[in-house]
């Protein structure tokens, strides 16, 4: 699945996103609204990871769906 597909199915994907990154709140999920850059920024801020680590995590998340 590519990011355009995730973006188009964002409401359906929110459960998977919450399962992967449990510290994201419902407000965070609503604010992300399918935008990969916002997701990466939120994950980076909540988990204190580097930009590269977060990008790799999101890539792995995409590969798993």
Q: How many domains does the chain have?
A: 1
Is residue 42 classed exposed, middle or buried when 0-12, 13-18 and 19+ CB atoms within 10 A define those classes? buried
pLDDT at residue 60, as a whole number: 95
What CATH number corresponds to the domain at position 15? 1.10.1470.10
Neighbours of 36 (CB within 10 A): 15
pLDDT digits (tens, 9 = 90+) for 4-45: 888 888 999 999 999 999 999 999 999 999 999 999 999 999
pTM of this structure: 0.89
What is the extent of the structural domain holding 51?
Answer: 3-63
**For residue 56, pLDDT beyond 90:** yes
4 three-class SS: helix
Over residues 36-55, the mean pLDDT reads 97
């Amino acid at each position: 699945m590519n990011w355009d597909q995730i973006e188009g199915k964002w409401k359906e994907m929110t459960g998977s996103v919450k399962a992967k990154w449990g510290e994201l709140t419902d407000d965070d999920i609503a604010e992300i609204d399918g935008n990969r850059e916002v997701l990466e920024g939120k994950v980076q801020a909540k988990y204190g990871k580097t930009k590269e680590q977060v990008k790799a995590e999101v890539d792995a998340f995409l590969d798993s769906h």
